[in-house]
Every structure is written in C-alpha cells, then in structure tokens.
Amino acid sequence: MASFITRKSCPCCGSVDIVKALACKDFTVSSEIFDIMECGNCMLRFTQSVPDQDSIGAYYQSDTYISHTDTENGLVNKLYLKARNYTLAWKIKLLDKSAGNQEHKRELLDIGAGTGAFLDKAHHSGWVVTGLEPDQGARKICLDKYGIQSEMPEKLFELPAQKFDAVTMWHVLEHVHQLHEYLEQIKRVLKPGGVALIALPNYTSKDAAEYKSFWAAYDVPRHLYHFSPPSMDFLAKKHGMKLESMRPMWLDAFYIAMLSEQYKNGKSNLLAAFWNGLNSNMVALRDKKACSSLVYLLRKDEQ
C-alpha cells in the first residue's frame, strides 16, 4: 500500500510560511490531483502528499516516460529526441567551459543518466564518466547501446570524496526525495573548485504563467519540488556552494508547451505551442530568470 508524505514546512528552508499555490493533475499515469504549495521565504514550490520513496515507482510506469526509453513513437517523442540530440553538443560545450582546462584526466558524475546519451557524448569528448540511474530498463539501454554500465543512485553515498571535476543533473533534482542529502554528497564528491550543473524547470517562467495547472513541467507527483532562481540560490548557500550563473535552455519552452497544450485541450496544437514557447523565450531574452528551464552552475570553494 502506498505511503504519502504531507509536509507542514518547506523542504528547502524549513519555513512554515507555506500556502497552496494551485492543484495539478497527474496526466501521465494516475489522473490523481495533487496540491502544490509555495514557500513565502525561499520561493520553492513543492508537491504536497507525494508518494514516499518506496511508493513513487508506480507513478513512473508509463511507456510515454521519455527519459527511460529511446522510443520515437509519436510526434512528441520524435521532437524530444531531435531536441535532445541537438542539445547534447551544447551541454558538452557548457561542461567543458565550466570545468575549465585541467592537466589531469577530467572525471564526470552524471546523476540520473537515463539511457546514457549524455554519458556517451562526454566519454567521446575525453571525460572519464560515471553514471547513476535508478531505472533498470534505462540502465540496460545505456549498457547495450553505449557499453557504459550505470550504477544505482545509492552508489553516490559510497563514492570517494573529491573525485570529480563536475557533477551533472539534467532535470533530475526535482525527482529526488533526499534533497539535502544529495546536495551534501555532490559537494563531498566534487574536487575543490569543481562545478555542479543542475538543470531544472522554472515555475516563474512565462509559459508556466500561461498554462497554470496544465503546465507540463509540474509533472506531479514525479516532480517533488518546483524550483525558482531564488530557491536555488538559497539551496546552494545552505550547502556551502556558490550559485555562479544561470544558463537558459531555450528549446525546453517549446517541448513543455507542446505537452501543456495536450494536457489543456486533450489534443495537440503545434501552432499554439510554438507561439507560447516563442513568447516565453522572448520574455527570457530580456530576463533569463524567466526562461522555462535553467541550468544552474554551482561552484564548490577552492579550499
């Protein structure tokens, strides 16, 4: 029987200044309704009454959960994979620039490695790669397709300290029950001066405001937390790291808008999705904090 977690305080900062912001439907698996709370102190939003770590797995059991497959069935999946392939090179460029030139062989830890496309790209770009991934099917694809053996996420707590030049989490942190424990482990395994690149949806974006409870990036209950730039700044400081910069992920606005149109209207509307995605990005051109998704660059102190 599933167990659910109901919080009386913010999971990021601990404040009891929390109010209901909206209610969202699980459009992917269960059709259940979940409340989303907002913290008045750190500006984190979080899903209320989420399944605990032992119960959440059932909410991932869907053939449409794209990060666990390489399927090209359906228009949205085809477009997702094309966008993913396009952004892989961008991610590697950002990773290389953020980590800087090193005399030694650079080591990367990718948490939530999925089917391994990013690990493979990083490996061929000269990185020594380690991947963590909870889904058995995704780990099998990673091994069969790229010859890379990913480990279970629990391995994070066993890795040597100060081993990695970089840690990446591409739309993963919002899924993790052990939020503070993961941030502490990321800091622990990073070398002094190492960088964590953490990509997250941004609920303060223009497209989130447009679609409200139909905004696909809420993805309840799989997304336990819904981040904003202030909440990530607070989280970084809490764990002794510096939020050095934020980088927009421009294509995410279009992908999220396509899904949101489907949720809102029960059918695809590519024209409306393109317009809303474009409009969101135009706002973000003036203020990157308004982008649909952001990559947060967190730096560990040199000491």
- Beta carbons within 8 Å of 209's beta carbon, 6+ residues apart: none
Q: What is the DSSP-derived secondary structure letter of residue 99?
A: H
Q: Is residue 59 part of a domain?
A: no
294 SS3 class:
strand
Is 12 a domain residue? no
CATH of the domain at 155: 3.40.50.150
Determine which helix (DSSP H) or strand (DSSP E) holds 131, and give its type and residue range. strand 128-132
Structural domain range at position 128: 65-217+227-300
Angle between helical axes of 117-124 and 136-146 (0-180°, round to 10): 30
Residue 249, domain member (yes or no): yes
Contact at 8 Å (CB) between 94 and 197?
yes
85-136: pLDDT as tens digits? 778 999 999 999 999 877 678 999 999 999 999 999 999 999 999 999 999 9
Q: Are 181 and 153 in contact (CB under 8 A)?
A: no
Q: Does some domain include residue 58?
A: no
| 82 in a structural domain | yes
- The distance from CA 13 to its chain's CA centroid, rounded to whole angstroms, is 19
What SS3 class is residue 121?
helix
d(CA 48, CA 52): 11
Instruction: Render pLDDT for 123-173 as a digit per residue (tens, 0 to 9).
Output: 999 999 999 999 999 999 999 999 999 999 999 999 999 999 999 999 999
Domain assignment present for residue 13? The answer is no
Residue 154 inside a domain? The answer is yes
**Count of domains forming the chain:** 1
**Is this model's pTM higher than 0.75 or not?**
yes
Residue 42: alpha-carbon gap to chain centroid: 19
